[in-house]
C-alpha cells in the first residue's frame, strides 16, 4: 500500500514537472493548472505552518501559560504572559491596509517594524562590511623568500612555497603579493567608477573609471555564469528525477517483475 | 517568400527555440544514464568547510587545521526547499552523513521558508534509511537532533539568537522520546546550551539571501555555509574576509565535498560518499558545452550578417 502510494505520488510529481516545463513550448492550460496548484499548496502550507510552527508555540502557548519554561522548569500550570494579548490587535491593525477609511491605522505596526529595522542598521552595516573593508587593506610587497619544508630544511622560493611547506604567519610570498595587487587595483578601479561618475578630465582617473566599468562587467559575467550553472543543475535534477527516480527505480521494475 | 531571402547568418542567429530545448533535455538526460568521472581539484573554501566539519585536513591545504569540537552541538539554519533541490539536497545530505557518522548532535531551524524544516526532516529520514541498510544505528530525533521549526522574519530571529539564544528558543518545542511536545532545552541535544557560543559552529544551508542576514547579526559563533550557485559570488566575499570559515558553493562545492569524503577513510565504505554531486557534475559540463556552442553559433551568425551588410 505504502509503495503503491509512493509510486502514485512520484507519478503525479512527474506530471507536475512536465506540466511546468510545458511553458517552454507555449503558454497552455496544462501549465496554468500546475502553476496554480503549486501556488495554492505553498500558500496553504505557509498559513498552517505559521500557526503550528510559530504563533502557537511562540505566542499562544506562553500567553495561556501551558508551556514548559526551560529555566524555571514549570510545566502546564505555569502562569501565562497575558501581556502578549496586546500583540493581537497590533498585528490585526496591519490588515486594515485593505480598508479605504481606516488604512492609516496599518501604518502603526508598519512604523514599529520599520523603527526596529532602522535601529539595527548601523550595527548591521558594520557587521557586514566592516570585516570586508578591513580585509581590503592587503600587503602588496612580498616579505618572504624562504620557507621551511616538511623535513625542516630552509628553501628559497621567489614566488610561492609548495603546499607541504610549514605555514609561516604573516609571510607574503611573490604570488600572494601579486594576487593582492590585482585585488587592490580592482578594488580602487571599481570604487572610482562610482566616485568619479561626473565629467573627469584627468587621463589617469578616466582610465581608472573605464577599467572599473570593465572589471564590474567581468564580475557581473561571473555572477551570470554561476546563475546559468545553477539553472542547468536544477534542470539536471528534474531529469534525474524523471528518468532515474521515477522511470528506472519505480516504473520499470513494475513491468520487469511481472 | 521571406524565408527564401534569409541568409545563413540570420538563420544561425534565429535557431528555433523548441529545437534548442529538445537538444538541452537530451543532453541533460542521456549522460545521467552512463557513468562519467570528471577529474576534480577541490576549491579551498570547500576544503576548509570539510575540515571544519570532519576534522580531516586535506593534504592540499595543510595550513588550515581548525575543526569543530565534536562534543558540542551544531546549530543549522536550513532555508532551502525543493525549489533548489538540485544543489541544496546534495549539500544537505553530505552534511548529514558527516555529522551522523561523527555522532555530532545538531539542532536545526529555518528562517527562510515554512516548508524547509519538513524538507530537512524528509532528507534526514532518507539518510537514516541508508544508515540502517549499511548496518549503522539510525539518528534519533530528540536524542541526536531536534527540529526547532520555522521562524518568520530572519532578521528578528538572527538578532535574538545573537543576543540571547536561551530566550530566542525559550518557547520552542519538539517531540521528545515519548512523542510528547517538550521544550527543546530538555533534549540531550541542547542540554546546557544557553548562548549561541555554546554551539561548536553555525551552518547555513540556503538558496536565498538569509545568508546575508545571518552574517549581519550573528557573530559569537564560527559560521560556515552551503549555498547555491546563484548565491556563490556574493557569499564568496564573506569567505575571503574571514567572516565565513568555510563555504560550499553550488554543484562544484558539492562535488568537492563528495570527492573529499570519498578519499577519507572516516567515510569511505561506511556511507554513500559519491552521490548527487558525482551524478550531476559531468552532465552539467555537457549542458555548458551546448551553451558555449550556441553562443559561438550566434556570434558567427552575427559577424556573417554584419559582414554582408558592410
Beta-carbon neighbour count of residue A36 at 10 Å? 10
What span, in angstroms and rounded, lies between the C-alpha atoms of B115 and A45? 7
Chain A 129-188, CB below 8 Å of chain B: which residues? 131-132, 134-135, 163-164, 167
User: Is B182 in Cβ contact with A236 (below 8 Å)?
Assistant: no
CA dihedral B99, B100, B101, B104 (to 10 degrees): 60
Give the pLDDT confidence of A107-155 residue by residue, as tens digits. 999 999 999 889 989 999 999 999 999 999 999 999 888 888 878 888 8
C-alpha cell read off for A192: 572610482
pLDDT of residue B245: 94
Q: How would you classify the pairing of strands B145-150 and B106-110? A: parallel
Q: Compute the nearest-CA separation of B7 from chain A (Å).
A: 26
Q: Please, what's the b/e burial string for B131-147 (b: 16 or more CB within 10 A of its CB; e: otherwise)?
A: beeeeeeebebbebbbb
Q: Does this complex have an ipTM over 0.85?
A: yes
What span, in angstroms and rounded, lies between the C-alpha atoms of B110 and B149? 6
Q: What percent of chain B has pLDDT over 70?
A: 96
CB B229 within 8 A of CB B21: no
Per-residue pLDDT, averaged over B58-62, amounts to 59
Angle at which helix B154-163 crosses helix B210-217, to 10 degrees, equals 30
**Which residues lie across from B246 on neighbouring strands?**
B224
Give the pLDDT confidence of B99-155 residue by residue, as tens digits. 999 999 999 999 999 999 999 999 999 999 999 999 999 999 999 999 999 998 899
Average pLDDT of every residue of chain A: 88
What span, in angstroms and rounded, lies between the C-alpha atoms of A33 and A242? 20
User: Is B149 in Cβ contact with A229 (below 8 Å)?
Assistant: no
CB A34 within 8 A of CB A17: no
Per-residue pLDDT, averaged over A92-111, amounts to 94
CB A67 within 8 A of CB A59: no
CB B267 within 8 A of CB B98: yes
**Which residues lie across from B227 on neighbouring strands?**
B206, B249
Chain B residues lying within 8 Å of A163, measured CB to CB: 59-62
CB A159 within 8 A of CB A147: no
Chain A residues lying within 8 Å of B154, measured CB to CB: none
C-alpha cell read off for A78: 505555569
Angle at which helix B232-240 crosses helix A107-136, to 10 degrees, equals 60
User: Would the pLDDT of A215 be above 90?
Assistant: yes
Interface contacts A/B by beta carbons within 8 Å: 161
Residue matched to cell numbers 559575467: A221
Give the pLDDT confidence of B171-230 residue by residue, as tens digits. 888 888 788 888 899 999 999 999 999 999 999 999 988 999 999 999 999 999 999 999
What span, in angstroms and rounded, lies between the C-alpha atoms of A191 and A211? 10
E runs forming strands in chain A: 146-148, 154-156
Q: Which of B193, B199, B200 is nearest to B52 (CA)?
A: B200
User: Would the pLDDT of A67 be above 90?
Assistant: no
pLDDT of residue A233: 96
CB-neighbour burial class of residue B195 (10 A; exposed 0-12, middle 13-18, buried 19+): middle
Q: ∠ at Cα A188 (A182, A193), nearest 5°? A: 125
CB-neighbour burial class of residue B107 (10 A; exposed 0-12, middle 13-18, buried 19+): buried
Q: Which among B29, B159, B243 is the nearest to A243, CB-wise? A: B29
SS (H, E, C) B130-178: HHHHCCCCCCCECCCEEEEEECCCHHHHHHHHHHCHHHHCCCCEEECCC
For residue A79, the surrounding DSSP H or E stretch is: none
Q: How would you classify the pairing of strands B173-175 and B181-183? A: antiparallel
Tell me the pLDDT band of B1, cut-offs 50, 70 and 90.
very low
Any A CB within 8 A of B266 CB: no
Q: Which of B301, B306, B298, B206 is nearest to B17 (CA)?
A: B298
What span, in angstroms and rounded, lies between the C-alpha atoms of B58 and B31? 30
Tell me the pLDDT band of B77, cut-offs 50, 70 and 90.
very high
User: Is A49 in Cβ contact with B171 (below 8 Å)?
Assistant: no
Any B CB within 8 A of A68 CB: yes
User: Would the pLDDT of B289 be above 90?
Assistant: yes
pLDDT of residue B286: 95
Largest Cα separation within chain A, whole Å, is: 83
CB B162 within 8 A of CB B219: yes
Give the pLDDT confidence of B244-278 residue by residue, as tens digits. 999 999 999 999 999 999 999 999 999 999 999 99
User: Would the pLDDT of B238 be above 90?
Assistant: yes
Q: Find all residues with CB under 8 Å of A220, minimum gap 6, and list them.
A: none
Give the pLDDT confidence of B141-179 residue by residue, as tens digits. 999 999 999 998 899 999 999 999 999 998 888 888 788
User: Would the pLDDT of A68 be above 90?
Assistant: no
Q: Which among A70, A223, A232 is the nearest to B170, CB-wise? A: A70
Average pLDDT of every residue of chain B: 92
Any A CB within 8 A of B60 CB: yes
Q: Which among B86, B117, B155 is the nearest to A234, CB-wise? A: B86
For B18, which DSSP code? H
Chain A residues lying within 8 Å of B158, measured CB to CB: none
Mapped onto helix, strand or coil, the DSSP state of residue B209 is: coil
Chain A residues lying within 8 Å of B291, measured CB to CB: 228, 232
Q: What percent of chain A has pLDDT over 90?
A: 59
User: Would the pLDDT of B2 be above 60?
Assistant: no
User: Would the pLDDT of B65 be above 80?
Assistant: no
pLDDT of residue B75: 98
Give the helix, strand, coil percentages of chain B, each rounded to 5.
50, 15, 35
What span, in angstroms and rounded, lies between the C-alpha atoms of A125 and B214? 12
pTM score, two decimals? 0.90
CA dihedral A48, A50, A54, A56 (to 10 degrees): -50
What span, in angstroms and rounded, lies between the C-alpha atoms of A41 and A23? 20
Any A CB within 8 A of B291 CB: yes
Chain A 74-113, CB below 8 Å of chain B: which residues? none
Tell me the pLDDT band of B310, cut-offs 50, 70 and 90.
confident
Angle at which helix A174-195 crosses helix A107-136, to 10 degrees, equals 140
Q: Which of B80, B243, B214, B236 is nearest to B155 (CA)?
A: B214
Chain A residue with the nearest C-alpha to that of B150: A53
Give the pLDDT confidence of A6-60 residue by residue, as tens digits. 999 999 999 999 999 999 888 999 999 999 999 999 999 989 988 888 888 788 8
pLDDT of residue B221: 96
Strand order through the sheet with B145-150: B145-150, B106-110, B74-79, B201-206, B223-227, B246-249
E runs forming strands in B82-200: 106-110, 145-150, 173-175, 181-183
User: Would the pLDDT of B64 be above 80?
Assistant: no
Amino acid at each position: 500500500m505504502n509503495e503503491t502510494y509512493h509510486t502514485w505520488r512520484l507519478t503525479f510529481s512527474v506530471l507536475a514537472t512536465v506540466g511546468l516545463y510545458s511553458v517552454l513550448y507555449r503558454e497552455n492550460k496544462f501549465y496554468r493548472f500546475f502553476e496554480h496548484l503549486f501556488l495554492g499548496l505553498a500558500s496553504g502550507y505557509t498559513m498552517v505552518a505559521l500557526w503550528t510552527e510559530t504563533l502557537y508555540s511562540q505566542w499562544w502557548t506562553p500567553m495561556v501559560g501551558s508551556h514548559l519554561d526551560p529555566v524555571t522548569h514549570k510545566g502546564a500550570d505555569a502562569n501565562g504572559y497575558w501581556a502578549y494579548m496586546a500583540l493581537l490587535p497590533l498585528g490585526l491593525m496591519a490588515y486594515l491596509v485593505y480598508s479605504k477609511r481606516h488604512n492609516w491605522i496599518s501604518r502603526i505596526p508598519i512604523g514599529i517594524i520599520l523603527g526596529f529595522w532602522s535601529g539595527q542598521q548601523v550595527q548591521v552595516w558594520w557587521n557586514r562590511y566592516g570585516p570586508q573593508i578591513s580585509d581590503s587593506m592587503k600587503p602588496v610587497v612580498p616579505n618572504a623568500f624562504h620557507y621551511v619544508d616538511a623535513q625542516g630544511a630552509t628553501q628559497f622560493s621567489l614566488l610561492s612555497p609548495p603546499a607541504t611547506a610549514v605555514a609561516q604567519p604573516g609571510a607574503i610570498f611573490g604570488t600572494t603579493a601579486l594576487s593582492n595587487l590585482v585585488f587592490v587595483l580592482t578594488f580602487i578601479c571599481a570604487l572610482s567608477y562610482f566616485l568619479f561618475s561626473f565629467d573627469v578630465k584627468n587621463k589617469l582617473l578616466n582610465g581608472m573609471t573605464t577599467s572599473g566599468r570593465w572589471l564590474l562587467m567581468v564580475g557581473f559575467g561571473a555572477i551570470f555564469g554561476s546563475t546559468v550553472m545553477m539553472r542547468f543543475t536544477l534542470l539536471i535534477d528534474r531529469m534525474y528525477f524523471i528518468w532515474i527516480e521515477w522511470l528506472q527505480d519505480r516504473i520499470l521494475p513494475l513491468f520487469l517483475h511481472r | 517568400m521571406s524565408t527564401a531571402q534569409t541568409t545563413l547568418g540570420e538563420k544561425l542567429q534565429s535557431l528555433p527555440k523548441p529545437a534548442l530545448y529538445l537538444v538541452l533535455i537530451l543532453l541533460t538526460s542521456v549522460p545521467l544514464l552512463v557513468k562519467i568521472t570528471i577529474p576534480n581539484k577541490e576549491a579551498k573554501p570547500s576544503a576548509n568547510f570539510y575540515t571544519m566539519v570532519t576534522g580531516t585536513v586535506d593534504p592540499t591545504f595543510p595550513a588550515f587545521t581548525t575543526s569543530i569540537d565534536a562534543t558540542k552541538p551544531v546549530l543549522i539554519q536550513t532555508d532551502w526547499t525543493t525549489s533548489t533541490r538540485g544543489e541544496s539536497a546534495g549539500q544537505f545530505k553530505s552534511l548529514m552523513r558527516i555529522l551522523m557518522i561523527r555522532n555530532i548532535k545538531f539542532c536545526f531551524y529555518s528562517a527562510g521558508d515554512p516548508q524547509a524544516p519538513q524538507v530537512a526532516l524528509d532528507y534526514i529520514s532518507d539518510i537514516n534509511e541508508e544508515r540502517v541498510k549499511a548496518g549503522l544505528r539510525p539518528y534519533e530525533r530528540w536524542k541526536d537532533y531536534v527540529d526547532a521549526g520555522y521562524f518568520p522574519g530572519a532578521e528578528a530571529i538572527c538578532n535574538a539568537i545573537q543576543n540571547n539564544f536561551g530566550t530566542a528558543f525559550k518557547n520552542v518545542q519538539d517531540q521528545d522520546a515519548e512523542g510528547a511536545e517538550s521544550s527543546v532545552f530538555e533534549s540531550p541535544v541542547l542540554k546546557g546550551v544557553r548562548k549561541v557560543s555554546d554551539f561548536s559552529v553555525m551552518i547555513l544551508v540556503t538558496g536565498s539571501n538569509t545568508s546575508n542576514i545571518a552574517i549581519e547579526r550573528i557573530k559569537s559563533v564560527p559560521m560556515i555555509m552551503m549555498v547555491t550557485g546563484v548565491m556563490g559570488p556574493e557569499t564568496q566575499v564573506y569567505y575571503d574576509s574571514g567572516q565565513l570559515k568555510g563555504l560550499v558553493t553550488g554543484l562544484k562545492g558539492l562535488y568537492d565535498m563528495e570527492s573529499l569524503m570519498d578519499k577519507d577513510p572516516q567515510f569511505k565504505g561506511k556511507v554513500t560518499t559519491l552521490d548527487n554531486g558525482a551524478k550531476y557534475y559531468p552532465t552539467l559540463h555537457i549542458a555548458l558545452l551546448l551553451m558555449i556552442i550556441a553562443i559561438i553559433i550566434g556570434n558567427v551568425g552575427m559577424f556573417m550578417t554584419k559582414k554582408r551588410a558592410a
